[in-house]
Structure 1
């Protein structure tokens, strides 16, 4: 009885590990700029402390120089943004405020059932945002053009 209970305990503790349907050999059909090695050799390389030279763009602080086209693109982009920031009268549009309302299911006329859905409502329309000097001048122009009516 004791041997049977020890045997059942062993089978119970091993659980489903006995029935592993997966192959435990590592295979890599596509390398994606990495090495295709077995798990044992990858572990040995990690223990040796070799510096990975081919880490590519994931490595921070790398001293790789940017390609000429990328550098020229970035400089052109920065110049354009600098010009937009220095321009005091560049109009911009503020996005509208939108509210999402959930309508829960309800029974309509007859035997109609309306299921839950969302309705989107514009709370504020999009606004043109100008510099403060334009807003002050516009308010002053309105005040002089349209006298206050009581």
Structure 2
């Protein structure tokens, strides 16, 4: 049987600020992110398997992405932990706000790299992450493809 790609889409609301940036995005603002997650694998052919014909149960993929990305990032504000925004982040946390201190500048590009690592670590050995598309606005998005990032395991 051949390899099949399946995709599941997710949405979440996240705020961020780009420290040191020379445009409007240096200010705290938010986006309605849309994340498309595509995995690749061979459908299960074992006729006694409860998930016969599936590459991965969409519910299982949803659980991974929800736990690793949607739940932590939804309605959170992301800051680069290596910037002076750390003081602002602490103040927001003290006031009960959900804050993520990332090891990177929270651009769509860096977020999609982070998301790829988180998702890959949770997939079984017979399923590979093929690509991610993180849409920040209706006209702007970042994409991650496994083929651009080295050989598959």
- Relative contact order higher in (CA < 8 Å, ≥ 6 apart): 2
Bigger helix share = 1
For the aligned pair, the TM-score class normalised by the smaller chain equals under 0.3
Larger CA Rg, structure 1 vs 2: 1
Bigger strand share = 2
TM-score with structure 1 setting the length? 0.23
